[in-house]
Structure formats: C-alpha cells, structure tokens
Structure 1
Amino acid sequence: METGMEIFIDGDGCPVIEETERAAALYGLKVVIFCDTSHLIHSETSRVMVVDKGRDAADWAIISAAHPGDVVITQDYGLASLVLSRRAYAFHQDGWQYTEDNIEGLLQQRYEAGKARRSAKHHWKGPAKRERKQNEIFFQHLCHFLAEGIKDK
C-alpha cells in the first residue's frame, strides 16, 4: 500500500459508513463518501462528495478519484472491477475483498442473476435485513487489512 492512502465509500445504500470511519480513524486515514443528489449523506468526520444524479455517476467519480493503493468500499461488482484495474483495493460491505481471482466469477454471477430476473414471471425477494453483527465483521476485516498494509510499509 502506498502512503497517502484514502478510503472511498460508494455511499448510495452503503450500510457500513460508520464502521469504515471508525477503522480509518484508528489508522489515521481520510475517508471520502460519494453519493448522488438523491442520497444526501452527512458526516462529521468524512468528506462527502455529492455528484449529479444519474446512472453510475457516483461510481465514475470514485474511479476518477481512486489511485493505486486506495481502498474502495462498494457492493457494486462492476465498480469493484474498475477499482481493481486502477490497482486500488476493493471491499464488499460484508467484509470480503474483491480480487483479481474472484472478480470474473462475481461479474458472471451478476450477469446470470440479472438474466434470470428479467426472464422470471414472479417477484424476487430482496436481501434479508442486515444484522449489526455483519457490520462488526466488516469492521474487523477492514481493520485487519489496514493493519497488515500499514505494517508492510
């Protein structure tokens, strides 16, 4: 990881903003939250970048800001793929890391699921309600990653 690392959050629907800010504070890192005008987010500790409303507007702003060694928190597989191509790190809100080894399979899963949804005649259920324990797992995994990266400097 490079000096000056920043953490970028894809804020549209991200349930782990608070946990990311806590982890960043422990390691003295800056956090920037990106959201569009339909998802107003306020933070006492992070910089909030509000972009115009539009399909993937926040994603493109994140890609423009990300440098090698930065960390991006997102549940969007497409964004994660672009982040990896910038030699930055990407984490899912459930605490696992996107890597060159898993991104292709994840994108294929997303494609297949979208195809199934479009061809289905019934309504799909959304995800189960998020439990606080999931946020704590995310926090622990992010802290472990940051600790290892800082130790390697």
Structure 2
Amino acid sequence: MNPSLQTIYVDADACPVKSEIVEICEFVNMKMVFVSSYAHTLTLPASVKVVTVDNEKEAVDLFLMNHAKKGDICVTQDHALASILLSKGVRTLSPRGMVYQEDTITQMLDARYLSQKQRRMGGKTKGPKPFRHEDRVKFIEQLRKIVAGT
C-alpha cells in the first residue's frame, strides 16, 4: 500500500517512540494522527495532527476505534484496542516493536485477563519491563517494514 494514502494513528499518552514515528512517517510522506487526553501535553512538529480527547478512561481508544480504517497503522500498548483494530484490518504494533497478530491476540488477552483477576483478588503481578534501547531499535525496524509493505 502507498504510505501517502495511509494514516498512522498513535495512542500517544505514554508512547515512548513519538520522535521515531515522526521521522519515519515524514520520510515517506505518511499522514500522522497522535491522540492523547487533556492530561497529556504533546509537543510535535506541524506535520503531525494532534487530537486531544476527554480525560475519560477509554476516550483515546474510542477515538482510534472510530477513525482508524482498513490499511491504516496504529501504535498502541493496549492489547484490547489492538484486538479490535486488527479485526478492522488495521496493522497494529506496540512501541516495543511487537506486531499484533490475529492468531496470537486471544492468548495475549487471556493472559491480561488472568493478571487482572489475580490483582483483584489481592495478588501481585509483574509490571512491564523497562523500555530499553533494543525495544526502540526493534520498533523502528518493524515500523519501517510495515510502512514499506513487507
């Protein structure tokens, strides 16, 4: 698909790879939409469309679900959002460079559910690992592949 006909949507509230997205998308002339809540201030170049939504829990997710369409790309850490977008034909990847796939998303959602259940019962679960340089490199590689259509 031609990058200039696609849009990349970014769940931008806690996205650690904003500058990398901008650099790659400006290089291929891809439209960018960074979505965040009022609780977060984004400083991005004029080439980026910034959408600010209410501070409600799922407001960013709702915007992304309602606007991303088949052939677009979305960067998010949210497995549930990724699952919904995948069913719409949106290429979805995490800021760590993991490309969400239809055949593995159910397993990821199940693991997320079990962790939430354990926390509700007072149990402890591990949080996410620290974001590393290797994660950034993997993200750049994966986004370049997706934008190139491979």
User: Is the pair's TM-score, using the shorter chain for normalization, greater than 0.5?
Assistant: yes
- The count of aligned residue pairs is 148
Match of 1:51 among 45, 50, 53: 53
Deviations 1:94-146 (A, max 9, x none): 11211111111111111011111222355x55333322331121011110121
CA RMSD of aligned residues (A): 1.7
For structure 2, the 5+ residue unaligned runs are none
One-letter amino acid matched to 1:113: S
User: For 2:32, what is the secondary structure of its paired residue?
Assistant: strand
Q: Which consecutive unaligned segments of at least 5 residues does structure 1 have?
A: none
Structure 1 counterpart of 2:19: 18
Aligned sequence identity (%): 30
CA distance in 1, matches of 2:131, 2:89: 30
CA distance in 2, matches of 1:13, 1:5: 23
Runs of 4 or more consecutive aligned structure 1 residues displaced over 2 Å after TM superposition: 124-129
Give the alignment's TM-score, normalised by structure 1.
0.88
Q: CA separation of 1:121/1:84 partners in 2, compared to 1, >3 Å: closer, same or farther?
A: closer
- With normalisation by structure 2, the TM-score equals 0.90
Change in 2 beyond 3 A, CA 1:80/1:60:
same
Secondary structure of 2:57's counterpart equals coil
